């Protein structure tokens, strides 16, 4: 067990460099799904590995041994190794639990505040009288569709066709519940430091999903590309995003030049790289999960032996 349990803890360092290539090499929808599966799966398996490291050291405590009806200590590893490992694992699990709880509570509070329009409007679109160009999608609470917020400055910066493309982009964020994918990536990053590097490609892939939806909605990829580019230039020139809620998703976020190139078909397609990266990630997930299950089985067998029973196979 002591060897298999390290695989889920080390696997994110191997998988993340491969995962970062998915956003450009696969279709946006597939990239989002695979990135989300990778982040959540690796986070769960690494957390399970920490739990498994706690148990051998914890059974050295007489109270835990009595609860587990152990007639002898687990014999896998010496106590001078298991006890420090258990203490470190407990500290890491506690830190992760606190960070996840705080982040989840903050995210819920931000969603609740975002769901209450300051002007009292209850429609999908809220137009704010502000000369600073800005536009973003505010996700709603479960059961709420959310809303799109756009300033008068942004409406003046775009022509009618570009406005339609921009609104279609923000509408795609709401319809796809993209904030949930970002929240999953953020929570996974709190469980393992290597997974922090997945947040940027996840955000890019989600913006690409909305870009493609906007292009299909207006029927012209060039119009969608022009809308995104002009909106980003206008927003950044005016520095008008200071008051934007953190849960907001905006068409002006992320690497806009790369997104425009993708819409215009100038990005070099790399289907082989995408397939290879996807296969490698699935292999990493499978190996991490198999190692976690193997470590769990070995620990269960060791506990049975410590209880004076014959291990089941």
Give the residue-averaged pLDDT of 252-270: 84
Give the pLDDT score at 247. 80
Percent of the chain with pLDDT over 90: 49
Interval 164-197: pLDDT, tens: 999 999 999 999 999 999 999 999 999 999 999 9
Can you say whether the dihedral through the CA atoms of 132, 137, 140, 144 is positive or negative?
Answer: positive
pLDDT tier at 119 (50, 70, 90 boundaries)?
low
**Integer Cα distance of 294 and 136 in angstroms:** 46
CA dihedral 166, 253, 199, 244 (to 10 degrees): -100
Give the residue-averaged pLDDT of 11-28: 86
Give the pLDDT score at 273. 81
Lowest mean pLDDT among 31-35, 119-123, 211-215: 119-123
Q: 68 or 163: which carries more pLDDT confidence?
A: 163
Q: 117 or 136: which carries more pLDDT confidence?
A: 136
């Amino acid at each position: 067990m002591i060897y298999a349990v390290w695989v889920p803890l080390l696997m994110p360092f191997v998988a993340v460099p491969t995962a970062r290539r998915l956003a450009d090499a696969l279709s946006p929808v597939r990239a989002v799904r695979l990135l989300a599966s990778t982040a959540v799966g690796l986070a769960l398996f690494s957390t399970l590995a920490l739990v498994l490291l706690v148990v051998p050291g914890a059974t050295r405590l007489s109270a835990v041994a009595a609860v587990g009806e152990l007639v002898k200590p687990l014999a896998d590893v010496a106590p001078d190794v298991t006890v420090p490992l258990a203490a470190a694992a407990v500290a890491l699990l506690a830190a992760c639990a606190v960070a996840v709880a705080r982040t989840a509570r903050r995210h819920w509070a931000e969603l609740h505040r975002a769901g209450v329009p300051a002007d009292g409007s209850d429609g999908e679109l809220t137009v704010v009288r502000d000369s600073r160009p800005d536009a973003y999608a505010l996700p709603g609470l479960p059961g709420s569709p959310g809303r799109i917020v756009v300033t008068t400055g942004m409406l003046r910066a775009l022509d009618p066709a570009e406005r339609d493309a921009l609104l279609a982009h923000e509408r795609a964020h709401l319809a796809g519940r993209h904030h949930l994918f970002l929240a999953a990536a953020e929570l996974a990053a709190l469980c393992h430091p290597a997974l922090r590097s997945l947040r940027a490609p996840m955000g890019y892939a989600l913006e690409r999903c909305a870009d493609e939806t906007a292009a299909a909605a207006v029927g012209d990829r060039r119009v969608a590309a022009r809308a995104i580019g002009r909106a980003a230039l206008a927003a950044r020139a005016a520095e008008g995003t200071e008051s934007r809620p953190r849960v907001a998703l905006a068409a002006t976020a992320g690497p806009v030049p790369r997104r425009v190139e993708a819409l215009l078909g100038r990005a070099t397609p790399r289907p082989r790289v995408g397939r290879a990266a996807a296969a490698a990630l699935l292999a990493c997930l499978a190996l991490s999960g198999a190692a976690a299950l193997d470590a769990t089985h070995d620990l269960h067998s060791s506990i049975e032996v410590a209880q004076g029973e014959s291990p089941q196979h």
